[in-house]
Amino acid sequence: MMFRRPKIGLALGGGGARGLSHIGVLKVLEAAGVPIDMIAGTSIGALVGGCYALHPDAIELERRVREYIESPEFKNTGLDRFKRPEPAENFFGQVAKYVRERIVINLAHSRLSVVGADRMGRVVEAVLDDRRIEDTKIPLLIVATDLHTGDDCIMREGSLREAAMASAAIPGFLPPVQQNGHLLVDGAVTAPVPVRALQDAGMDVIIAVDVGQDIGILSDAQNIVDIMFRTNSITSHKLKTLLLETADVVVRPDVGGIHWADFQNIRDLIEKGERAANEQLRAIRHCIREKQPFWQRLFTLNRYRESERQAA
């Protein structure tokens, strides 16, 4: 008797340091024996997803990332300098506020980004092997945004590091990446959680992991720029909500209050990912079972009941 298992896709969203909770989600899914047939990643979701797709071992992934974040090499990137106690807001708004406060207007007009690509490049090189997307053990999709067309750019082949760099090229913070005639920026602009990429790839069950911040309440609008940032936050939040409505199961680690640059909080972030995934395990298993053909579900249920009777 031939059994067909539904194809399961995992969508890992963007959110800066909050994306380290993806590691906790992967640990739980792996330990529970939930098979992953394809991973799609945006921004830090592309970085974590790429690491795992190459070497599907969540414990080793945690060790590798934690070792790097606790190293002097990571501190030299200066990413922790952007961590400031601010109310929850859209990530691009945070970066834009930093630009507004720290860079004079004429400099902002003459440059494409706050920092050079080399800073992010050092992070990518330390975490990701120099391999091609086609080499991954789990099929991988990396999502960026094409500045020319405004469309998702889904990368299925080519340099894994270059694709991750493009997917994490936060507008205004890191320069756009030129690749195969495309000018690419952070995938979170069009795909904060890359659900559509997995749908287009034919996945039967899509598990989405949302590590973004809640939209919160605007406590004070100081000026026109604050209002512009707020409207951008609302637009991004609405887009993310629409995308997540099309996923089968959404895992939401409780990380909304953690700053996007708080990478030193890795232990807590991973634990929050584990907790959220454990809370959704029953829903994930139910969804997988429901996507099986009826006769297969019936056979599986009867076999389960028989094993329960024998164990009693």
The question of whether 43 is a catalytic residue gets the answer: yes
pLDDT digits (tens, 9 = 90+) for 135-162: 999 999 999 999 999 999 999 999 999 9
68 token code pair: 């790097």
Instruction: Give the CB-side neighbour count of residue 202, counting CA atoms within 13 A.
Output: 1
Output the pLDDT for position 23.
Answer: 98
Q: Which residues of 189-220 are buried (b: 16+ CB within 10 A; e: fewer)?
A: bbbbbbbbbbbebebbbbbbbbbbbebeeeee
DSSP assigned state of 112: S
Of 43, 167, 233, 236, which residue is the catalytic one?
43
pLDDT reading at 210 higher than 90:
yes
pLDDT bracket for residue 83 (50, 70, 90):
low
The question of whether 200 is a catalytic residue gets the answer: no
pLDDT bracket for residue 123 (50, 70, 90):
confident
**Mean per-residue pLDDT of the chain:** 84
Which DSSP string do the residues of 229-279 spell out, in sequence order?
HHHHHHHHHHHHHHHHTTSSEEE--S-TTS-TT-GGGHHHHHHHHHHHHHH
Q: What is the mean pLDDT of residues 226-238?
A: 78
pLDDT digits (tens, 9 = 90+) for 162-185: 999 999 998 877 888 998 889 999
Nearest to 184 by CA among 143, 144, 142, 124: 144
pLDDT reading at 118 higher than 80:
no
Of 146, 186, 210, 248, which residue is the catalytic one?
186
Backbone φ and ψ for 203, nearest 5 degrees, come out as -70, 140
- Compare 109 and 18 and report the one with higher pLDDT: 18
